């Protein structure tokens, strides 16, 4: 076959370009460790996500020092959880699945970008060095409300980040001869112990308790005060743990309407 010299040169240069392109991508994958979304995750039943440990409660979990996992569900036309909150200086693995049609999970301005296919779980690991706020968009057409499908990813400064959850259950109405009780539970989602102080205020009374909540566990305590000390009327209460606060009002009544006096000793 007759090939002109210039053609041969061009052919050679073209091959060099092609091989170089493949080489740079291979280097990216092997040398820099940029990995692809692939088939390493097991398939999942998209109609039974509520029976799945990871996706029945979409959330962020602390799984190791500076390591977090985010379980995200995409559905028409929203993401759960929203916002996703992670600390700076962390390594986060996102697990994303869909309950209905094909979506995407694309963090704007980053290369965190994946298709989300019902029946499959996409996993990607990303490092967040700096705090910042990112938008999350669905860039795969998913139906008439596609353009409204968005979420947020908040990377908060490391020292402001915790996974503490405070929950307080208090009585609404208490007889004057009874006790007002507040059941306080402090959940620590981090793996490290949480040293903190539970501060409570009921009417004029104040309480303080230094506690250590072990990693990945919940500390429960009960605060009681004699209703008689508060006196008849409405009393505001509040419980504070770090930046979290729960509050409510309890009413101390003279005597409960139809109480037979048998609800307490």
Partner 1 sequence: MTMSESGGTYIDNFPAEARVVRSALYSSFLALALGGLFGIIQTLHRTDIYRFIESDMYYTVLTAHGVFLVVTFTIFFLVGVFTWAVTTSLDRGVEDIRFTWLWYGLMTIGTVMAAAAILAGFTDSIDMSADVLFTFYAPLQAHWLFYLGLVVFVVGTWLAGADWFRSWWAWKQENPDERIPLPTFMVLTTMLMWYIATIGIAVSILVFLLPWSLGIIDSVNPTLTRTLFWFWGHPVVYFWLLPAYMMWYVMLPKISGGKLFSDPLARVVFILFLLLSTPVGIHHQYLDPGIAEGFKFIAMTNTMFLLLPSLLTAFTVVASMEHGARQRGGTGYFGWLKALPWRDPVFAGMALAGLMFAAGGFSGMINAGMNINYLVHNTLWVPGHFHLTVGTASALTFMAATYWLLPQLTGKALWNRSVALVQVVLWFLGMTFMSNSMHRAGLLGIPRRTAEPQYQGFEFEAGVGSVAELDFQLALGGALLAISIVLFLANVVGTAFNGRSDDLPANEFAETLSGPEDSPQVLDNLKLWTAIAVVLVILAYSFPLMSIVDRGGLYGPDISPFPVSIETLSLLAFTLEQYTTAAIATTGEFVQTTLTGVIR
- List residues binding partner 1 (CB under 8 A): 1-4, 6-7, 10-11, 14-15, 17-18, 21-22, 24-25, 28-29, 34-39, 41, 43, 45-47, 100-102, 104, 106, 108-109, 111-123, 133-135, 137-148, 150-152
- From the number of C-beta atoms within 10 Å of its C-beta (0-12, 13-18, 19+), residue 237 rates as buried
Rounded distance, CA 58 to CA 83, Å? Answer: 11
Question: Based on CB atoms, which residue is closest to partner 1, 148 or 217?
Answer: 148
* Euclidean distance between the first and the last CA atom of the chain, given in angstroms as a whole number: 107
Least separation in angstroms between CB 17 and partner 1: 7
Residues near 73 by beta carbon (within 8 Å), at least 6 away in sequence: 49, 55, 58, 79, 80, 96, 97, 98, 99
Question: Based on CB atoms, which residue is closest to partner 1, 35 or 56?
Answer: 35
Residue with tokens 């005060």: 225
Least separation in angstroms between CB 7 and partner 1: 6
Question: Based on CB atoms, which residue is closest to partner 1, 7 or 255?
Answer: 7
Least separation in angstroms between CB 251 and partner 1: 40
What is the three-state SS of 198-249? EEEEECCEEEEEEEEECCCEEEEEEEEEEHHHHCCEEEEEEEEECCEEEEEE
Least separation in angstroms between CB 42 and partner 1: 9
Question: Based on CB atoms, which residue is closest to partner 1, 140 or 171?
Answer: 140
Least separation in angstroms between CB 58 and partner 1: 17
Question: Based on CB atoms, which residue is closest to partner 1, 86 or 200?
Answer: 86
Rounded distance, CA 134 to CA 137, Å? Answer: 10
Least separation in angstroms between CB 119 and partner 1: 5
Question: Based on CB atoms, which residue is closest to partner 1, 127 or 147?
Answer: 147
Neighbours of 183 (CB within 10 A): 14
DSSP string, 120-142: --EEEEEEE-S-EEEEEE--S--
């Amino acid at each position: 076959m007759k090939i002109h010299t210039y053609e041969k040169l061009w052919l050679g240069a073209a091959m060099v370009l092609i091989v170089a392109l493949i080489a740079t991508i291979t280097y990216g994958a092997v040398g820099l460790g940029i990995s692809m979304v692939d088939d390493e995750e097991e398939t999942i039943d998209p109609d039974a996500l509520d029976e799945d440990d990871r996706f029945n409660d979409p959330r962020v979990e602390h799984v190791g020092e500076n390591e977090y996992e985010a379980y995200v569900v995409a559905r028409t036309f929203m993401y759960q959880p929203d916002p996703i909150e992670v600390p700076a200086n962390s390594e986060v693995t996102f697990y994303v699945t869909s309950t209905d049609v094909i979506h995407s999970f694309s963090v704007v301005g980053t290369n965190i970008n994946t298709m989300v296919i019902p029946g499959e779980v996409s996993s990607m690991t990303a490092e967040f060095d700096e705090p910042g706020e990112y938008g999350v968009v669905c860039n795969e057409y998913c139906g008439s409300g596609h353009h409204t499908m968005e979420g947020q990813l908040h990377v908060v400064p490391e020292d402001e980040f915790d996974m503490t959850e405070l929950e307080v259950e208090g009585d609404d109405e208490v007889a004057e001869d009874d006790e007002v009780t507040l059941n306080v539970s402090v959940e620590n989602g981090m793996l490290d112990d949480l040293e903190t102080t539970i501060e409570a205020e009921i009417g004029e009374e104040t309480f303080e308790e230094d506690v250590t909540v072990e990693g990945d566990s919940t500390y429960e305590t009960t605060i009681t005060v004699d209703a008689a000390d508060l006196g008849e009327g409405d009393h505001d209460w509040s419980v504070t743990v770090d930046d979290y606060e729960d509050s409510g009002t309890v009413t101390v009544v003279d005597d409960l309407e139809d109480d037979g006096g048998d609800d307490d000793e």
